[in-house]
Amino acid sequence: MEYGIVLPIILILVSVVVTFLLAKAIRIFVLISRFDGPPALPLVGNAHEFKSDQREFFVDMTTLMEEYRARSGGLIRMWLGPVPSLVLYKAKHVEVILNNSRHIKKGYLYKFIEPWLGLGLLTSWGQKWFHRRKMLTPTFHFSILQSFMDVFNEQSMILVKKLEKFAEKSETVNIFPLVAYCVLDIICITAMGRSSNAQENSENEYVKAVGRMSELVTIRGKNPLLWPDFIFDKLKSGKEHKETLKILHGVTNKMIQERLKESPKDTNTDDDDVDVVARTRKRIAFLDLLLQMHREDASFTLGDIREEVDTFMFEGHDTTAAAAGWAILLIGHHPDVQARLHMEIDEVFGDSMRPVTSDDLSRLQYLTCVVKETLRLIPSVPSIFRKLDEDIMLDGKVVPKETLVALSIYGLHQDPDEFPNPERFDPDRFLPVNAEERHPYAYVPFSAGPRNCIGQKFAMMEDKIILASILRRFSIKSIQTIDEAKPAGQLILRPAEGNMLVNLSRRK
């Protein structure tokens, strides 16, 4: 008797759930279909059009964005398998997402970064993100960054000395890996408190592992068939992912344990302590500050520390190296820009090779414009993603909850309405007189709003010191154009074949 009652109830509940899910899916389909976009196939959506070659994928996406810039004003509707997606690359649309603290949940692609970075500052959301952001902000206090200046200078000068032999022999040099090794040593010292000696050991496995992990995550994200772990883990790429992850976590775990044994017992960052740091130039690693937080709050575990160290190592290494590398390549193609840089640098430093100071950086205004224009033309992070937790309005249409919003920073920076003749490299765009009328969300190389990059000041200081150190000693002539270096659409906009070829000559 009871069985006869339970079964109809179960059937009714199942019917209600199925009806609810079907109605929800139909609503999403109807609303998202009101936006213009390329035709999609059932189940796979537009994923079948995504080339496995990262360079081809990047070229195809830039071509598609140019086509729809005229058709729909910087909006493209796409389907990534069963996931509805909207690509945004107009400032007024991007602002709706970035300038709202309710839209901070990252998109599906970040799920595939979680095995590496966990739920740290880059990948977390909600209260965990708000708490973690508030907790970590003091670690990027200006006075703490000041204590890193000697690291930036020391490692930049090692790079300059390595470049000397190429200049002496007039040999063509692939600048990208050399800059990447320099940046890795900087990040390891500032984050971990010890050098990786990457500049002395060019076969550094961590550098290779970061690049390969970025490729694997991107490949997986573009193919819905690889999303389920039980499929991906059994494939060759999944097994390689596991081995690469072992290298990445092995490096950070080892350094955390070593630093835990020798870390200073008190690295508080209240005002008095910050003054001491600034005055004595004491070198306190990011990891030391995290370990102090761990001592003061046991709920901030060693696992949490590894999440943030891995995040800082990834975001502070690959992105900064790419920006400096692309800047060198662009400077080497524009003699007029290079001449102005040399003039500015000579006015600040003369013939001296003394360390760069923070006061020097404030005087290198044209160099700042060059770095900013590089990040406009070739942003280190070409796209960021958000998953909507509520409906929003764009161009008078409803974008339904659960849509994946892809904010194309590359496409945004190519908007001719904001940047006339956008393919031209013109650092003067960022002179104050030329930038003051620009839409505040037209240029967001470090994102913007509540989830902007916490380390952007660190990155700008680092890149400017590296570039200033090179330009004080050398003149640059690029052998490759940007297109020949083949920017590739991965997590970071890297050269597809790892090459940025230049000739260096010693300045007279």
DSSP string, 37-90: ----BTTTBTGGGS-SSHHHHHHHHHHHHHHHHHHHSSEEEEEETTEEEEEE-S
Whether residue 142 is predicted with pLDDT greater than 80 in this model: the reply is: no
Q: Does residue 453 fall inside a structural domain? A: yes
Taking only the tens place, the pLDDT of each residue in 415-466 is: 999 999 999 999 999 999 999 889 999 999 999 999 999 999 999 999 999 9
Q: Does residue 88 fall inside a structural domain? A: no
The pLDDT-based confidence of 356 (bands split at 50, 70, 90) is very high
Whether residue 274 is predicted with pLDDT greater than 70 in this model: the reply is: no
Q: Does residue 422 fall inside a structural domain? A: no
Give the residue numbers spanning the domain of 217. Answer: 116-389+449-506
The pLDDT value given to residue 273: 42
Q: Name the residue among 433, 457, 431, 432 with its Cα closest to residue 445.
A: 457
* Residue 72 neighbours by CB under 8 Å, 6+ apart: 35, 36
Whether residue 84 is predicted with pLDDT greater than 90 in this model: the reply is: yes
Q: Does residue 267 fall inside a structural domain? A: yes
CA–CA distance, 137 with 448 (Å, rounded to integer)? 15
Q: Of 118-122, 199-203, 361-365, give the range with the top mean pLDDT.
A: 361-365
- Residue 206: what residue type? Y
- Say if residue 179 is exposed, middle or buried (CB neighbours under 10 Å; 0-12, 13-18, 19+): buried
- Residues contributing to the annotated binding site: 453
Contact 458/148 with Cβ under 8 angstroms? yes
Q: What is the largest CA-CA distance in the chain?
A: 99
Least-confidence region, from 172-181, 185-194, 270-279, 438-447: 270-279
The pLDDT value given to residue 222: 85
The pLDDT value given to residue 214: 85
Taking only the tens place, the pLDDT of each residue in 321-343 is: 999 999 999 999 999 999 999 99
Once rounded to an integer, what is the mean pLDDT over residues 18-28?
Answer: 82
Once rounded to an integer, what is the mean pLDDT over residues 121-137?
Answer: 88
CATH number at residue 373: 1.10.630.10
**Mean pLDDT across the chain:** 89
Which tokens in the block code for residue 423? 């393919």
Domain count, the chain: 1
3-state SS of 186-205?
HHHHHHHCCCCCCCCCCCCH
Once rounded to an integer, what is the mean pLDDT over residues 243-254?
Answer: 91
Once rounded to an integer, what is the mean pLDDT over residues 383-408?
Answer: 94
Q: Does residue 479 fall inside a structural domain? A: yes
The pLDDT value given to residue 399: 96
Whether residue 269 is predicted with pLDDT greater than 90 in this model: the reply is: no
In sequence order, what are the beta bridge partners of 501? Answer: 174
Q: Of 135-149, 247-261, 321-335, give the range with the top mean pLDDT.
A: 321-335
Contact 486/55 with Cβ under 8 angstroms? yes
The pLDDT-based confidence of 90 (bands split at 50, 70, 90) is very high
Helix axes 205-222, 236-262, angle to 10 degrees: 140
- The separation between CA 193 and the C-alpha centre of its own chain, rounded to angstroms, equals 23
In the block, tokens 């414009």 appear at 369
CA–CA distance, 269 with 141 (Å, rounded to integer)? 9
**Backbone CA torsion sign across 287, 203, 325, 63:** negative
Q: Does residue 75 fall inside a structural domain? A: no
The pLDDT-based confidence of 131 (bands split at 50, 70, 90) is confident
Once rounded to an integer, what is the mean pLDDT over residues 369-388?
Answer: 96
Within the chain, how many helices (H) and strands (E) appear?
21, 11
Q: Name the residue among 85, 152, 205, 171 with its Cα closest to residue 470.
A: 152
In sequence order, what are the beta bridge partners of 504? Answer: 476
Q: Does residue 495 fall inside a structural domain? A: yes
CA–CA distance, 371 with 323 (Å, rounded to integer)? 8
Q: Does residue 53 fall inside a structural domain? A: no
- Residues contributing to the annotated binding site for heme: 453
CA–CA distance, 76 with 94 (Å, rounded to integer)? 13
Whether residue 280 is predicted with pLDDT greater than 60 in this model: the reply is: no
Once rounded to an integer, what is the mean pLDDT over residues 375-394?
Answer: 94
User: DSSP states of 276-291 as a string?
Assistant: HHHHHT----HHHHHH
What's 355's DSSP letter? Answer: P
Single pTM value for the model: 0.90
145 three-class SS? helix
Whether residue 357 is predicted with pLDDT greater than 50 in this model: the reply is: yes
357 three-class SS? coil
The pLDDT value given to residue 283: 63
The pLDDT-based confidence of 264 (bands split at 50, 70, 90) is low
The pLDDT value given to residue 263: 57
